[in-house]
Amino acid sequence: RGRRSYRRDPRAPVNPVTDDEMRIIEREFHKADKDGTGALDGKELHHFMKALFGDEFGPADEQALLEAATNPDGTQRALSLDEVLEAFFPKRTLRPDPRLLTDEEAMEATNTADLVRRQFAKMERFMEASGALSPERLLSLHEAFIRAEIDDDDEGFIEVVRRAAQAHARTVEADMCRGLTYNDLEGLRCAWVKLHEGIRGPLTDVEIERMYYLTHDQAAFVSQEHYLRWRRLLDVRKKNRVGWPEFCYPFAQRNLLRRARHEIAQSGRTLDLMTGVPKQMNRQEVAHEHGNAFVHEIFMPFEEAVPVERVVATVELGMRTGAVHVGDAGFDESGSDDDGG
């Protein structure tokens, strides 16, 4: 409903209808078109719109469809799907996704392979610039950019994003994303939007439950007690909410451990560890054995203990886990918004 409110705004910061919704609209339109004419009229069209959009389809929309279906001589005609969409989403294509090639950019491609290469390059520039900014923060930046009446300049917007990410790279929320590459972070942004279509604010209880299934290979609950313990561990900032930093946190921890094990395996080093739960070292033990400088390098915010592999990989093998600049292809801990960038 929030996205739909932009459907008559020529400078809408978000597309009022998603690709998935468009597929549903097309499918339902063809089901309603029982005669196979490719068009609907009268009651058929009214029922189709009401069934799909409910209260969002109001008197102003009925009037717009009526005007679209009225011929110059005053007679009525059936409307094709494109005509229906033009009446209901009159501004849907005027503000493209800044991550995608514009029509002008696409026309510069010499062939399909070149088109794909150019699109990937633009997406990569956007991902590098975004650092660990959350979907909510990126949406807010885009809205502000559009409302400022700036010409449609995607490169200008990417620079706005880059500056925001660099400014936020020194925050605790940014450090909670340590260990994630910009590709990882873009994947997590896509997962967040899929899980939390409202984009803004923390995850709801239902969405947190869905996240549990996604992070446990779609397995059923081990037990309610296990789920509640997992949820408490997820709320590392003790705010009784799961925002963007908390969402990224377990994935960052997993990446750091995976990378440490890879570094150890590559070095030929073997560790005398019990199979199963890895041995842990707390902050005091690391400070006592290796000095305080390594505590900040090894531990993420709110971590009291870490697997010993991460200590060995950092202290003995020089694994770098500290901050990198936005735009580096390495492990990134660049910024996020108040609730995680």
Q: How many domains does the chain have?
A: 2
Task: Phi first, then psi: give them for residue 240, nearest 5 degrees.
Answer: 55, 40
Chosen domain end from 31, 66, 88: 88
Chosen domain end from 88, 110, 145: 88
Would 259 be classed as within a structural domain? yes
Chosen domain end from 44, 73, 88: 88
pTM over 0.85: no
What pLDDT score was predicted for residue 55? Answer: 83
- Give the range among 183-187, 193-197, 204-208 with minimum mean pLDDT: 193-197
Would 270 be classed as within a structural domain? yes
Tens of pLDDT, residues 102-121: 767 888 999 999 999 999 99
Let me know whether 176 and 78 are in one domain.
no
What pLDDT score was predicted for residue 1? Answer: 64
Domain residues for the domain of 319 are 169-341
Let me know whether 37 and 185 are in one domain.
no
